[in-house]
Amino acid sequence: CRVSDSSDSVISSGSESAEGQAVYKVVLLGEHGVGKSSLARIFGGVEEAHDAEEAGNTYDRSVMVDEEEASILLYDVWEQDNSPWLKEQCMKMGDAYIIVYSVTDKSSFEKASELRIQLRRARQSENIPIILVGNKSDLVRSREVSKDEGSACAVVFDCKFIETSASLHHNVLDLFQGIVRQIRLRRDTKEE
């Protein structure tokens, strides 16, 4: 199982960190060019885009959300290769998903709906947290998808919605905090 050179161990290491704390696997989905890797690099704290075209990366980071630490493994591997096997693994392995489109690209928005449907099919009985992300909100003049269309789509697909700009770092932290809150919400209701 090779998702990326540096992450073999990570993938097979189960879902607990050294401290016994839960590690949440979060998977980025979305069409090429929408900004998945840009968002992932901001999250991972490695912003120099020297390896911008590198196909697959995972980022391991702890974040404080509501005064509780959360460990996240963020997978930016959706485009790593075109094998149906990898795509299937992506659909199976996430504890949560971030489906990204670009607000400047209508077809990436349509693709996001397709991905949501695929995900629902792959994880039928599970109530997995999903956040729909409209990225590139800074590109005001080339916008093709309005904020209202984005949030309406999220309502239909029963997921959260946020617009981000990786370029301006706008809402990026909120996105990752949001995903942690979503995971905790499901976890807490399961325990009851």
Catalog residues that contact ligand GDP under the rule CB under 6 A.
Answer: 30, 32-38, 52, 135-136, 138-139, 165-167
Q: Smallest distance from the beta carbon of 180 to ligand GDP, in angstroms?
A: 21
Q: Which residues of 14-33 are buried (b: 16+ CB within 10 A; e: fewer)?
A: eeeeeeeeebbbbbbbbbee
Determine the interface stretch with Mg ion among 37-45, 58-66, 128-136, 155-163 (rule: CB under 5 A): 37-45
Nearer to Mg ion, 35 or 65 (CB): 35
**Among the listed residues 37, 58, 71, 182, the single contact to Mg ion using CB under 5 A:** 37
Whether residue 106 contacts residue 150, with contact meaning beta carbons closer than 8 Å, is answered with no
111's contact among ligand GDP, Mg ion, none, with CB below 5 to 8 A by partner kind, is none
Q: Smallest distance from the beta carbon of 70 to ligand GDP, in angstroms?
A: 23
Between strands 68-76 and 23-30, the pairing is parallel
32's contact among Mg ion, ligand GDP, none, with CB below 5 to 8 A by partner kind, is ligand GDP
Q: Smallest distance from the beta carbon of 35 to ligand GDP, in angstroms?
A: 3
147's contact among ligand GDP, Mg ion, none, with CB below 5 to 8 A by partner kind, is none
Q: Which residues of 139-153 are buried (b: 16+ CB within 10 A; e: fewer)?
A: eeeebebeeeebbeb
Determine the interface stretch with Mg ion among 4-12, 31-39, 116-124, 183-191 (rule: CB under 5 A): 31-39
Q: Tokens 């209202």 label which residue?
A: 148
Angle at Cα 177 formed by Cα 173 and Cα 182, nearest 5°?
Answer: 145
Nearer to ligand GDP, 70 or 178 (CB): 178
Task: Give the C-alpha separation, 111 to 134, whole Å.
Answer: 12
Nearer to ligand GDP, 13 or 146 (CB): 146
Q: Tokens 């149906």 label which residue?
A: 84
> Footprint of Mg ion on this chain (CB under 5 A)?
36-37
